Structure 1
Amino acid sequence: MSYTGDVRVGGPTAVRELDDAVVRKVAVGPGANNAYLVTCRRSGAQLLVDAAADPDRLLALVREGSPAARLATVVTTHRHADHVGALVSVLAVTGADLAAGADDADAVGAAADGAPVRRLVHGDTLTVGHLVLEVVALRGHTPGSVALALREPEHVHVPDAVPGRVHLFTGDSLFPGGVGATGGDPERFGQLLTDVRERVFDRFDDATWVYPGHGADTTLGAERPHLDAWRARGW
């Protein structure tokens, strides 16, 4: 079956096979948080985006990607409680490293019982086997919110692949229909929309696939026509 990104709590994993990577998506917890497992096809190394809830389901997801449970890193996109609920268990079982945006790292580390946290800043890279993911800081939903950008190779050999396409894991900073919540604060909203415009829409093309922290996936092409309307409405 082709990948759609449609998942539900208690349902099966959605799997997307790319040339160099496999992306797996599940929904967990009462908040129907999305968690994503990125597996390097050449090495088997893995990265988990948001150990949000239901550690048993997430550990099963890791085993789907690698029976040896080779999880290199957990990245927490931001510090909110619904995105950190399974951190302690997942880190304890897998021995994975933990990373989060610098301005959210203290809160994320506290949620992980004091585990050390790599403090990510805009433009950093994360290496997972032969994969390289770029850190894109998107300030506003929280001060340290980050997205991760994985770019497909220029030469691809699988039907679903688009040469050079970016796969962007945005946490709660960008969704179908708008940016993430900013508590009704005009300054935070302005910062987030500016970051999303300058660091995402101005850099990546319309084929870029967006994997948000909740709900359905989207593309930059689907969302780009609405940027001015988002600014006008103020949320």
Structure 2
Amino acid sequence: MEITSTVVGPMSNNAYLLTDSGEGLLVDAPADALALLALIGDTPIGTLVTTHRHHDHLGALAEIASHTGARLVAGAPDAAAIEAATGVSIDDRVWDGDHVHVGAVRLEVIGLVGHTPGSVTLAWTPEHGAAHLFVGDSLFPGGAGKTTTPEDFRSLMTDLEAKIFGRFGDDTVVHPGHGDPTTLGKERPHLREWWDRGW
């Protein structure tokens, strides 16, 4: 599977194009439909995954959905809010244990509660080489995603420890919704520090 990306919108959001066997999957359509269409090129997009319901990840969703005819996927707890904000209909409401496909590649869906109630991560675990996680805004270099209450912070950190750091190795590449990639190995030593500071 090939991974390409572009940065769009006033909040410098990452959009990721995953391609395999001539098929494409787009992770987030945040803004600037023309830039996203340039990223996509002539790749047929079968699936468009929205990582969570925040407005800066939705700005071009309706336009890209209309242009590509892609099947729209989102975390079940965020799906209704995404529909209300964009006017689209989410085809697949996914959560832990579900999968999405691009070409011959199967991506696992991991639900992470805290940044929003229904944020999802896509995990690609190839037969050889490092795993790749497309985490939306749930994990960044230097900390967990933004939360607004202590309960949300505890939920997100607990999910990250159990579902991400507890399952994947240090060479796993993290592709966040904003900013540069990191690895779990770079972030793992700081988990206690994140707990202690509370954000």
The TM-score with structure 1 as length reference comes to 0.83
Q: Partners of 1:116 and 1:199 in 2: how far apart?
A: 25
Unaligned runs of 5+ in 1: 1-20, 155-161
Q: Does 1:30 align with 2:10?
A: yes
Output the amino acid matched with 1:46.
G
Unaligned runs of 5+ in 2: none
The aligned residue for residue 68 of structure 2 is 94
Q: Does 1:111 align with 2:76?
A: no
The aligned residue for residue 228 of structure 1 is 192
The aligned residue for residue 25 of structure 2 is 47
Preserved CA contact (<8 Å) 2:74 2:90: no
The aligned residue for residue 111 of structure 2 is 137
TM superposition shift of 1:115 = 2.0
Alignment of 1:147-166 (within 5 A): 147-154=121-128, 162=129, 165-166=130-131
**SS where residue 198 of structure 1 aligns?**
helix
Q: Partners of 1:117 and 1:105 in 2: how far apart?
A: 9
Q: Give the paired residue count.
A: 199
Preserved CA contact (<8 Å) 1:105 1:117: no
Percent identity of paired positions between Structure 1 and Structure 2 = 53
TM superposition shift of 1:169 = 0.4
Preserved CA contact (<8 Å) 2:13 2:178: yes
- Residue by residue over 1:51-104, the C-alpha shift from the partner in whole angstroms, topping out at 9 and shown as x without a partner, is 0000011011111xxx2x300111000000000000011011110011000000
- Residue by residue over 1:97-125, the C-alpha shift from the partner in whole angstroms, topping out at 9 and shown as x without a partner, is 11000000011122331323310111211
Q: Partners of 1:144 and 1:107 in 2: how far apart?
A: 10
Preserved CA contact (<8 Å) 2:110 2:121: yes
Q: Partners of 1:32 and 1:127 in 2: how far apart?
A: 27
Q: 2:142 aligns with which of 177, 190, 193?
A: 177
The aligned residue for residue 176 of structure 2 is 212
Q: Partners of 1:116 and 1:220 in 2: how far apart?
A: 31
Q: Partners of 2:139 and 2:181 in 1: how far apart?
A: 10
- Residue by residue over 1:194-219, the C-alpha shift from the partner in whole angstroms, topping out at 9 and shown as x without a partner, is 00000000000000000000011100
Q: Partners of 1:56 and 1:85 in 2: how far apart?
A: 12
Q: Partners of 1:75 and 1:33 in 2: how far apart?
A: 14
- State which structure, 1 or 2, has the greater radius of gyration over its C-alpha atoms: 1
Q: Partners of 1:53 and 1:213 in 2: how far apart?
A: 13
TM superposition shift of 1:153 = 1.9
Output the amino acid matched with 1:86.
A
**SS where residue 203 of structure 1 aligns?**
coil
**SS where residue 134 of structure 1 aligns?**
strand
